[in-house]
């Protein structure tokens, strides 16, 4: 079968199981857009309003489904606009393939119109990238790109295709069978001696704790982690991206860890004598000051990325491997254990936390973010997929929307990308159309990518947008209040009328200013098959507690005073 | 540089695909992870698709292993090894241009070169070029001896290393071989079908 490069791209996408791609046309990618027409019935193209939206949508799709998300853009500015989304996906190990047009090969290096060295630009923020210079290389390059994106520690892969390669014609042979990349060999299983060493530490531990990360979800090791926790009676603290790895109402799950984690989790980590870190990478937002981090604990660290072991925290037993495979090796030899005193101690800390819970305060006449998020949780039965932006609302979502299933909280953890939430929610909806999706975003972040309201309207995407509007860049304001003597430099925001804005895009909307209006507004949004926007006008100067200041010791938390203490 | 400082150095050897941009990927990795390296040499091997990098690191072997783990993540890096305590041969080559405009300096130079694996490869009325090959320590020592005569220009290749005996660091297959094999197999299958 003789095909053009453009048609080969489409054929490869189909063979990789792609149904939808998010993109924006332009000169250097036009041949590929032209070829799309023939494949329209099998490959749906979503026209975004800015290429950053395309990369976030591909990312949201990937996080919701576990499959590779695809975005597509033209050369130069089209490709550079993808960059933030690629970096976001890289930091959170999200599998996406980005296809970019490039100027024709003879023009490369001549500063041609809309030419950018995009493989150079994206080199540090992709797992791998390609510049295809021969149409005969295109098919196996596409296959490799998908393979690299989805296997091992997943990540974004970019394929840059010059216009003349898209136009060139060749015999299309899709490389069947396994891929051979001699330099690419993600680790899988552990050695027996490593398993035995880990078991010995677990057996000796009196105050063990599991640190459950994103890798559990990516590896599909939820059941294995649960078995480990239950059989050895080990409490489980979650990272932000690990939320949903175990149901949050499980009695052994003690909540999120880190800068805005539960005090009980942070205290337990500092008091523990064994950390079992599963598919997480000891990010500085999780550890605080490394010098005082879990000093009494020995550490077992299991991660698929060999370079993560001993990067930030020294592991007594470091295992580079696929979590599910490694735990399957370990579980048959694991003895039953119990740690009643330890669990009792953690319960005491949890009790103290609930006394400080803002939801237990009398707050007449005020609307708080925690109330909004907790009400959305209650009214959706806790079963919606929430996609957040970055900042106070993100941390409060993590605290007040318990997740029972994996891949139901989609959020930019590593890069902390404002503007991620709304487009990622659109992408997620294409991946899991039967799920209820809420984009919970701040007034700041939403305005970074709100142009995608037009995309949501054009495609009639059933996403509910909850704007938490405090007229501030709230998290920055919180830091200014705590560390810069309330000098609110460049954080107050004069916002548009979000409801009128939604009207302009033809999107049904409501504004909520009182707590007793939340229920009706949420019901309204859930009743409409298409995009809706609810603006929640909340308290201007809220604080997210607990808070471990950046670089402080993990146990050195700023806590919300108990009622009456103020 | 003291011999102690050199003894502290560790060598990382990487087999990489001989493709455009691979050196850029490696250099970019070192920069973004803030790895401090002492020298980096790249050269071809007996296989046209494979190049070999020797990276000298001015830090302990734990640091070298960190670098190796990160290098291994690059798709174009086929294999990485840290040469730490294992017996190995290492060579550094220096071209040194020195003043030789009087009989005394010329005699001193000849005398020093006799005691080292060094050769005078070019002599002019004012300067001479010496080629010195040896271990890094030995080259350093040689340079220290020549320095008083007056070095006017110098270039070093950086260290290359190879394990002794049957410790063979090689790759049996390369990606291009495999890609070709896959395409041929696919064509053969397609051919049978039609």
Model pLDDT for residues A61-101, shown as the tens digit of each residue = 999 999 999 999 999 999 999 999 999 999 999 999 999 99
CB neighbour list of residue A231: distance below 8 Å, 6 or more residues apart: A331, A334, A335, A336, A337
**pLDDT tops 50 at residue A280:** yes
Shortest CA distance from A128: residue in chain B: B75
Residue B165 maps to a domain = no
- A176 and B189 within 8 Å at the Cβ level: the answer is yes
pLDDT of residue B191: 46
Is A163 annotated in the active site? yes
Q: Is the pLDDT of residue B182 over 60?
A: no
Is B193 within a domain?
Answer: no
- Residue A395 sits in a domain whose CATH number is 3.40.50.970
Q: Name the band, by pLDDT with cuts 50, 70 and 90, for residue B193.
A: very low
Question: What's the CA gap between A413 and A392, in Å, rounded?
Answer: 13
> What confidence score (pLDDT) does residue B48 get?
85
Q: Do strands B160-163 and B88-99 pair parallel, antiparallel, or not at all (unpaired)?
A: antiparallel
In this predicted structure, the answer to whether residue A331 has a pLDDT above a threshold of 80 is yes
Share of chain A above pLDDT 90, in %: 93
Q: Is A146 found in the same domain as A235?
A: no
**Nearest chain B CA: its distance from A297 CA (Å):** 22
Cα(A443)–Cα(A473) distance, integer angstroms: 8
Q: What's the CATH code of the domain at A199? A: 3.40.50.1220
Task: Tell me, yes or no, if A535 is annotated catalytic.
Answer: no
Our CA-based measurement puts residue B174 at a distance from the nearest CA of chain A, in whole angstroms, of: 7
For an interface test with A, the pick among B18, B175, B192, B193 (most A C-beta atoms closer than 10 Å) comes out as: B175
Confidence of residue B20 (pLDDT cuts 50, 70, 90): confident
pLDDT at B57: 86
For position B7, what pLDDT does the model report?
61
Say what the pLDDT of residue A175 is.
87
> Which domain CATH number covers B98?
3.30.70.1150
pLDDT reported for residue B83: 85
Cα(A6)–Cα(A195) distance, rounded to whole angstroms? 48
List the single range of A44-58, A178-192, A468-482 with lowest mean pLDDT. Answer: A178-192
Q: Are residues A310 and A416 in the same domain?
A: no
Per-residue pLDDT band for B176 (boundaries 50, 70, 90) equals low
Q: Please say if the pLDDT value at position A466 is more than 70.
A: yes
CA distance from start to end of chain B: 69
Closest CA to A439 of A361, B191, A453: A453
Which residue in the set B16, B72, B185 is minimally distant from A306, CB to CB? B72
Q: Which has the minimum average pLDDT: A89-103, A492-506, A549-563, B5-19?
A: B5-19
Q: Looking at the structure, do residues A198 and A317 belong to the same domain, yes or no?
A: yes
Give the one of A175, A182, A305 whose C-beta lies nearest to B175's C-beta. Answer: A182
Q: What is the pLDDT of residues B139-149, one digit of tens each?
A: 999 999 999 99
**Of B75, B175, B187, which is closest to A180 when you measure between CB atoms?**
B175
A176 in contact with B at a CB cutoff of 8 Å? Answer: yes
Q: Do A316 and A442 belong to one domain?
A: no
pLDDT of residue B58: 81
- Of A138, A171, A204, at which residue does a domain stop? A171
Model pLDDT, residue B120: 95
Q: φ, ψ for residue B142 (rounded to 5)?
A: -60, -45
Determine the average pLDDT of the residues in A504-520.
Answer: 97
Closest residue in A to B72 (Cα) is: A183
- H/E run at residue A478: helix A474-483
Separate counts of helices (H) and strands (E) for chain B: 6, 9
| Inside any domain, residue B106 | yes
Compute the mean pLDDT over every residue in chain A, rounded to the nearest whole number.
96
**Domain assignment of residue B55, given as a range:** 3-86
The answer to whether residue A329 is domain-embedded is: yes
Quickly state the pLDDT bin for A563 (edges 50, 70, 90).
confident
Q: Do B26 and B69 belong together in one domain?
A: yes
How many CB atoms neighbour CB A256 within 10 A?
23
Residues A121 and A242 both lie in one domain:
no
The CATH number linked to B46 is 3.30.70.260
Residue B124 within any structural domain of the chain: yes
Query: Would residue B163 count as lying in a domain?
Result: no
Closest-CA distance of chain A to residue B57, Å: 17
Kindly report the CA angle at A168 between A164 and A171, in degrees rounded to 5? 155
Model confidence at A59, pLDDT cuts 50, 70, 90, reads very high
Determine the distance in angstroms separating the CA of A201 from the nearest CA of chain B, rounded to an integer. 23
Contact yes or no for B32 and A176 at CB 8 A: no
Residues 152-191 of chain B with CB under 8 A from chain A are: 171, 173-175, 178-179, 182-183, 185-187, 189-190
Number of domains in chain A: 3
d(CA A224, CA A81): 40
Contact B66 A175 (CB under 8 A): no
Q: Does B55 touch chain A (CB under 8 A)?
A: no
Last residue in a domain, options B67, B86, B105: B86
Residue B192: per-residue pLDDT: 40
Which of these three, B45, B61, B86, is where a domain ends?
B86
Instruction: pLDDT band for B174, please (50, 70, 90 cuts).
Output: low
Give residue-wise pLDDT tens across range A424-444. Answer: 999 999 999 999 999 999 999
Query: Mind listing the pLDDT tens digit for each residue in A347-358?
Result: 999 988 888 888
Number of structural domains found in chain B? 2
- Indicate whether A508 and A374 sit together in one domain: yes
Q: What is the share, in percent, of chain A residues with pLDDT greater than 70?
A: 99
**A561 vs A290, A342, A369, A480, B57, CA distance in Å?**
27, 26, 18, 20, 51
What is the 8-class DSSP label of residue B106?
H
Would residue A67 show up in a list of annotated catalytic residues for this protein? no
pLDDT at B2: 58
Phi/psi at A99 (5° precision): -110, 125
Catalytic residue chosen out of the listed positions A36, A222, A418, A475: A475
Q: Do B183 and A174 touch (CB under 8 A)?
A: no
Are A423 and A500 in the same domain?
yes
Q: Write down the pLDDT at residue A214.
A: 98
What gap in Å lies between CA B177 and CA A40, rounded to an integer? 36
Average pLDDT over residues A394-416: 97
Mark whether B100 and B66 lie in a shared domain. Answer: no
Q: How confident is the model at residue B62 (pLDDT cuts 50, 70, 90)?
A: confident
H helix intervals, A505-542: 518-526
Average pLDDT over residues A1-23: 97
Same domain, A416 and A324: no
User: Could you tell me how many residues make up chain B?
Assistant: 194
Gap from B88 CA to chain A (nearest CA, Å): 24
User: Within this chain, do residues A65 and A204 fall inside the same structural domain, yes or no?
Assistant: no
Q: Which residues contact residue A534 at a Cβ distance below 8 angstroms, ignoring those fewer than 6 apart? A: A464, A465, A466, A467, A509, A510, A511, A512, A521, A522, A524, A525
Q: How far is CA B46 from CA A39, A106, B49, B101, in A?
A: 46, 32, 9, 43
Asked if residue B182 belongs to a domain, the reply is no
Domain boundary among A320, A351, A382: A351
Matching residue, tokens 């400082």:
B5
Distance CA A334, CA A338 (A): 12
Q: Is residue A179 scored above 90 in pLDDT?
A: no
Mean pLDDT over A359-370 rounds to 88
pLDDT band per the 50, 70, 90 thresholds, residue B3: low
- Chain B residues within an 8 Å CB radius of A177: 182, 185-186
Considering the domain architecture, whether residues B35 and B60 belong to the same structural domain is answered as yes
Non-local CB neighbours of B34 within 8 Å, separated by 6+ positions: none
Cβ proximity of A444 and A418 under 8 Å: yes
Is the per-residue pLDDT at A491 higher than 80? yes
Last residue of a domain, one of B51, B67, B86: B86
Q: Which of A38, A113, A333, A355 is catalytic?
A: A113
Torsion-angle region of A551 (φ positive above 0: left; ψ -120 to 50: alpha; else: beta): left
Is A193 an 8 Å CB contact of chain B? Answer: no
B170 or B49, which is more confident: B49
**Residue A363 belongs to a domain:** no
- Binding-face residues of A in 106-125 toward B, CB within 8 A: 119-120, 123-124
Please write the tens of the pLDDT for every residue from B116-144. 999 999 999 899 999 999 999 999 999 99
A333 with A243, same domain?
A: yes
Q: Are residues B14 and B76 in the same domain?
A: yes
User: Which tens digits make up the pLDDT trace of A221-265?
Assistant: 999 999 999 999 999 999 999 999 999 999 999 999 999 999 999
Tell me if B104 is assigned to some domain.
yes
Residue A563, in any domain of the structure: no
Contacts of B96 (CB under 8 A, 6+ apart): B129, B130, B132, B143, B146, B151, B153, B154
Q: A289 and A420: one domain?
A: no
Is a pLDDT exceeding 70 seen at residue A334?
Answer: yes
Asked if residue B34 belongs to a domain, the reply is yes
Q: According to the model, what pLDDT value does residue A192 have?
A: 96
Domain containing A507: what range? 369-537
């Amino acid at each position: 079968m003789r095909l053009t490069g453009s048609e080969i791209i489409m054929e490869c996408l189909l063979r990789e199981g792609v149904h939808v791609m998010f993109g924006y046309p332009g000169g250097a990618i036009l041949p590929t857009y032209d070829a799309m027409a023939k494949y329209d019935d099998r490959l749906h193209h979503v026209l975004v309003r800015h290429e950053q939206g395309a990369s976030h949508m591909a990312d949201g799709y990937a996080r919701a489904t576990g499959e590779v998300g695809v975005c597509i853009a033209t050369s130069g500015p089209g490709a550079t606009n993808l960059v933030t989304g690629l970096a976001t996906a890289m930091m959170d190990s999200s599998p996406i393939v980005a296809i970019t047009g490039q100027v024709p090969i003879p023009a490369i290096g001549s500063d041609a119109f809309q030419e950018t060295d995009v493989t150079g630009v994206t080199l540090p923020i992709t797992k791998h990238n390609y510049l295809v210079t021969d149409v005969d290389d295109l098919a196996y390059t596409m296959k490799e790109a998908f393979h690299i994106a989805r296997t091992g520690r997943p990540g974004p892969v970019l394929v840059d295709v010059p216009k003349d390669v898209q136009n060139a014609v060749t015999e299309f042979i899709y490389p069947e069978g396994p891929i051979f990349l001699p330099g690419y060999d993600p680790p899988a299983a552990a050695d027996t001696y490593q398993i035995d060493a880990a078991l010995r530490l677990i057996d000796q531990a009196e105050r063990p704790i599991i640190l459950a990360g994103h890798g559990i979800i990516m590896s599909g090791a939820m059941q294995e982690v649960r078995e480990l926790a239950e059989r050895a009676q080990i409490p489980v603290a979650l990272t932000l991206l690990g939320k949903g790895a175990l149901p949050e109402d499980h009695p052994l799950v003690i909540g999120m860890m880190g800068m805005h984690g539960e005090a009980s989790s942070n205290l337990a980590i500092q008091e523990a004598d064994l950390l079992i870190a599963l598919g997480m990478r000891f990010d500085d937002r999780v550890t605080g000051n490394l010098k005082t981090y879990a000093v009494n604990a020995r550490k077992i660290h299991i991660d698929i990325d060999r370079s993560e072991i001993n990067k930030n925290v020294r592991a007594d037993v470091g295992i580079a491997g696929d979590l599910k495979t490694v735990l399957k090796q370990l579980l048959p030899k694991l003895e039953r254990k119990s740690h009643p005193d330890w669990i009792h101690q953690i319960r005491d800390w949890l009790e103290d936390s609930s006394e400080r819970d803002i939801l237990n305060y009398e707050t007449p006449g005020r609307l708080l973010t925690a109330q909004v998020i907790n009400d959305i949780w209650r009214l959706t039965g806790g079963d919606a997929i929430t996609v957040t932006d970055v900042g106070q609302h993100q941390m409060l979502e993590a605290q007040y929307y318990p997740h029972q299933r994996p891949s139901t909280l989609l959020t930019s953890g590593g890069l902390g990308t404002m503007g991620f939430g709304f487009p990622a929610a659109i992408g997620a909806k294409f991946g899991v159309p039967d799920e209820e999706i809420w984009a919970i975003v701040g007034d700041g972040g939403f305005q970074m990518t709100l142009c995608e309201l037009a995309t949501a309207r054009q495609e009639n995407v059933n996403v509910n947008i909850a704007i938490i509007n405090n007229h501030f860049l709230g998290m920055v304001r919180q830091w200014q209040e705590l560390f810069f003597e309330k000098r609110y430099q460049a954080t107050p925001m004069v916002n548009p009328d979000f409801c009128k804005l939604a009207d302009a895009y033809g999107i049904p909307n409501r504004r909520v200013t009182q707590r007793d209006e939340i229920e009706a507004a949420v019901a309204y949004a859930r009743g409409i098959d298409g995009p809706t926007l609810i603006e929640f006008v909340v308290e201007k100067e809220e604080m997210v507690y607990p808070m471990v200041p950046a670089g402080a010791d993990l146990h050195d938390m700023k806590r919300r005073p108990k009622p009456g203490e103020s | 540089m003291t011999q102690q400082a050199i003894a502290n150095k560790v060598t990382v050897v990487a087999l990489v695909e001989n493709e455009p941009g691979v050196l850029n990927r490696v250099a970019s990795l070192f920069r973004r992870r803030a790895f401090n390296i002492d020298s980096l040499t790249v050269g071809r091997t007996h296989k046209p698709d494979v190049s070999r990098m020797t990276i000298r690191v001015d830090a302990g072997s734990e640091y070298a292993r960190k670098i190796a783990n990160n290098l291994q993540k690059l798709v174009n890096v086929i294999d990485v090894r840290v040469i730490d305590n294992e017996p190995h041969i290492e060579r550094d080559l220096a071209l040194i241009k020195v003043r030789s405009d009087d009989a005394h300096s010329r005699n001193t130079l000849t005398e020093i070169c006799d005691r080292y694996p060094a050769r005078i490869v070019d002599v002019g009325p004012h300067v001479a070029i010496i080629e010195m090959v040896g271990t890094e320590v030995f080259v350093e020592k040689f340079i220290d001896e020549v320095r008083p005569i007056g070095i006017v220009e110098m270039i070093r290749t950086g260290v290359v290393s190879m394990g002794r005996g049957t410790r063979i660091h090689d790759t049996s297959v390369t990606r291009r071989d495999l890609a070709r094999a896959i395409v041929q197999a696919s064509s053969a299958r397609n051919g049978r079908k039609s």
